[in-house]
């Protein structure tokens, strides 16, 4: 059994909590996507900013954390046993999710639009209404695991070289951000940054999918070797916050511009600001987790053990509670808070009960 890295576990559980914050915020954002499953009549630009900011670093962080033990897992087992374990861990839950659970989310959409659906069959995997919903993460993550296993010898050699020929943290960060900025910019010339491509078994955003893979590779090859906490103090945290604030402003401005004039300049600044934000925010959260939350007490273990299951089921409580609250005349901020707290609490309780039952 692998030695646990407690701060990574705590980091992942916090990221899953922020995913709930993200999905709860979409219900009330001002420019909410028309396809979102539950939309409240009350809207605020504040929630649009929250969604915009969370969307920069949440998925890269999840892919990064998922990649950390890939090489050591394959070394301890074999690439084929490793893939088989990932089939059990990811593909079987993905199949259950897309066949039996995702149609429920589509049904929420139909309820809020007064669209009559005679049966779930019409919004199933085999029909035009099929969606993967948030389970797209599982199939894409499995693809990353599969590629890394098939190219294990290549990645293992690179990992050894990285550990033997260390480069400075500053240089590494700049190179990594520049590579991802280039990818984002090139793909933005052909696709909208929020555009999704659906291949039935894979659902992803073309502009971001290779960046996600880079973060997965970052976790796999470097683990946490670039995360130094010796200089993490209030002053340096404020420096990080200033960078985040500055590039958040740039990102919001570039994303909100609708003009086609100077489109290349707009895309360039959007690419730079997006990739600076996703890396800096993730790095800061990792540093804070490593320095202050590198522990395994009973409470943290409760949340870390449940985090995967919470991601898997949370959406039904977010949408269900959001749907119920449509009929209540209270502030959107109160509704938002209620959704986050109840969804996170109920998801954790149910997942914890399920884990206990399956371990018997």
Q: Maximum distance among all alpha carbons in the chain?
A: 63
Nearest by Cα to 338 from 355, 356, 326, 354: 326
Task: Report the distance separating Cα 204 and Cα 234, nearest Å.
Answer: 38
Task: Report the distance separating Cα 358 and Cα 94, nearest Å.
Answer: 18
Residue 262 lies inside a defined structural domain of this protein: no
Range of the domain at 341: 1-66+296-360
**β-sheet bridge partners, residue 204:** 197
Q: Which helix (H) or strand (E) holds 198?
A: strand 197-198
Six token digits for residue 229: 């906490």
Task: Report the distance separating Cα 320 and Cα 322, nearest Å.
Answer: 5
From residue 143, alpha-carbon distances to 162, 186, 213, 249 in Å are 24, 23, 10, 34
Residue 358 lies inside a defined structural domain of this protein: yes
Percentage of residues in the chain having pLDDT higher than 90: 71
pTM comes to: 0.93
Residue 123 lies inside a defined structural domain of this protein: no
Task: Report the distance separating Cα 219 and Cα 267, nearest Å.
Answer: 27
Torsion of CA 68, 73, 76, 78, to 10 degrees: -140
Looking at residue 126, its pLDDT comes to: 54
Q: What are phi and psi of 135, to 5 degrees?
A: -80, -5
Low-confidence stretches of the chain (pLDDT beneath 50)? 1-2
In the numeric block, the tokens 């969370």 are attached to: 54
Task: Report the distance separating Cα 61 and Cα 52, nearest Å.
Answer: 15
Give the DSSP letter string of 205-254.
Answer: -HHHHHHHHHHHHHHHHHTTTT---TT-SHHHHHHHHHHHHHHHHHHHHH
Residue 58 lies inside a defined structural domain of this protein: yes
Contact 332, 40 (CB under 8 A): yes
Looking at residue 111, its pLDDT comes to: 85
The CA radius of gyration of the chain, in Å to the nearest whole number, is 21
Residue 29 lies inside a defined structural domain of this protein: yes
Give the DSSP letter string of 250-275.
Answer: HHHHHHH----TTHHHHHHHHHHHHH
Q: What is the pLDDT of residues 77-97, one digit of tens each?
A: 889 999 999 999 999 999 999
CB contact set of 247 (below 8 Å; sequence gap of 6+): 272, 273, 276, 277, 280
Looking at residue 320, its pLDDT comes to: 96
CB contact set of 8 (below 8 Å; sequence gap of 6+): 65, 68, 224, 289
Looking at residue 132, its pLDDT comes to: 86
Contact 195, 206 (CB under 8 A): yes
Task: Report the distance separating Cα 65 and Cα 268, nearest Å.
Answer: 28
Nearest by Cα to 157 from 75, 89, 234: 75
118 exposure class (CB count in 10 Å sphere: 0-12, 13-18, 19+): exposed
Task: Report the distance separating Cα 257 and Cα 225, nearest Å.
Answer: 38
Residue 135 lies inside a defined structural domain of this protein: no
Looking at residue 118, its pLDDT comes to: 59
Residue 330 lies inside a defined structural domain of this protein: yes
Q: How many CB atoms sit inside 10 A of residue 323's CB?
A: 16
DSSP 8-class letter at 118 = S
Q: How many domains does the chain have?
A: 1
Residue 322 lies inside a defined structural domain of this protein: yes
Task: Report the distance separating Cα 316 and Cα 51, nearest Å.
Answer: 19
């Amino acid at each position: 059994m692998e030695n646990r890295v407690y701060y990574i576990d705590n980091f992942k559980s916090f990221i899953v909590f922020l995913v709930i914050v993200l999905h709860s915020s979409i219900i009330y954002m001002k420019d909410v996507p028309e396809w979102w499953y539950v939309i409240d009549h009350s809207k605020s630009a504040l929630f649009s900013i929250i969604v915009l900011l969370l969307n920069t670093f949440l998925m890269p962080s999840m892919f990064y954390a998922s990649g950390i033990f890939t090489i050591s897992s394959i070394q301890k087992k074999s690439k084929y046993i490793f893939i088989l374990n990932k089939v059990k861990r990811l593909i079987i839950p993905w199949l259950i999710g897309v066949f039996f659970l995702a149609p429920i989310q589509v049904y929420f959409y139909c309820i809020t639009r007064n669209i009559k659906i005679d049966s779930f069959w019409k919004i199933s995997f085999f029909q035009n209404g099929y969606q993967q919903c948030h389970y797209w993460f599982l199939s894409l993550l499995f693809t990353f695991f599969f590629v890394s296993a098939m190219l294990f010898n290549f990645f293992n050699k690179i990992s050894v070289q990285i550990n033997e020929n260390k480069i400075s943290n500053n240089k590494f960060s700049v190179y990594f951000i520049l590579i991802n900025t280039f990818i984002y910019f090139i793909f933005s010339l052909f696709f909208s940054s929020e555009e999704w491509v659906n291949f039935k078994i894979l659902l992803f955003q073309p502009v971001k999918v290779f960046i996600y893979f880079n973060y997965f590779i970052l976790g796999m090859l470097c683990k946490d070797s670039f995360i130094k906490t010796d200089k993490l103090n209030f002053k340096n945290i404020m420096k990080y916050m200033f960078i985040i604030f500055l590039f958040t402003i740039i990102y919001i401005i570039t994303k909100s511009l609708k003009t086609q004039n100077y489109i290349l300049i707009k895309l360039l600044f959007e690419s730079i600001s997006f990739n600076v934000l996703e890396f800096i925010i993730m790095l800061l959260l990792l540093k804070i987790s490593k320095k202050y939350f590198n522990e395994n007490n009973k409470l943290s273990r409760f949340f870390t053990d449940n985090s995967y299951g919470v991601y898997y089921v949370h959406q039904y409580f977010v949408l269900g509670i959001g749907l119920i609250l449509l009929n209540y005349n209270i502030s959107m901020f109160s509704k938002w808070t209620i959704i986050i707290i109840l969804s996170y609490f109920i998801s954790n309780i149910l997942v914890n009960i399920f884990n206990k039952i399956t371990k018997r």
